[in-house]
Amino acid sequence: MDHKLLARIGAIIFVAIAVTMTAIEMSRAPEQPREEPVSEIERAGTDPLLAELRRCQGLGATGAEDRDCLAAWAENRRRFFDGSARTIAPADPAPVEEN
């Protein structure tokens, strides 16, 4: 069999599979967005820095000019790079039963 003919047949099969997969994907009903809210990392006793960072996030581009936001981001960077950020103590490991 000629190599050019074999390559053409392979290309035709590839295109046919791609068109079929596209048609199947387009015929699917779109997924409904989730109704459940995104869980909060810290619900009780939230960090004031975290609350300020969320407020700044809501400001969008104007947050880059807000003095309080700039201070909050600086403190956040300091905590991150300093390593003195609050960490959650690891859970106690489960006791190992020895037989």
Q: What is the mean pLDDT of residues 83-89?
A: 57
59 Cβ contact partners less than 8 Å away, ≥ 6 residues apart: 66, 69
Single-letter amino acid, residue 11? A
The larger pLDDT score, comparing residue 17 to residue 79, is at: 17
Tokens of 69: 């936001």
Q: For residues 48 and 51, give the distance between their C-alpha atoms in angstroms, rounded to a whole number.
A: 5
Q: For residues 66 and 59, give the distance between their C-alpha atoms in angstroms, rounded to a whole number.
A: 9
Q: What is the pTM of this model?
A: 0.40
pLDDT value of residue 74:
92
The larger pLDDT score, comparing residue 97 to residue 36, is at: 36
Residues 15-67: pLDDT tens digits? 999 999 999 999 998 888 777 665 555 554 567 888 888 889 888 888 888 89
| Confidence at 6, pLDDT banded by 50, 70, 90 | very high
Single-letter amino acid, residue 32? Q
> Do 73 and 53 contact (CB within 8 A), yes or no?
yes
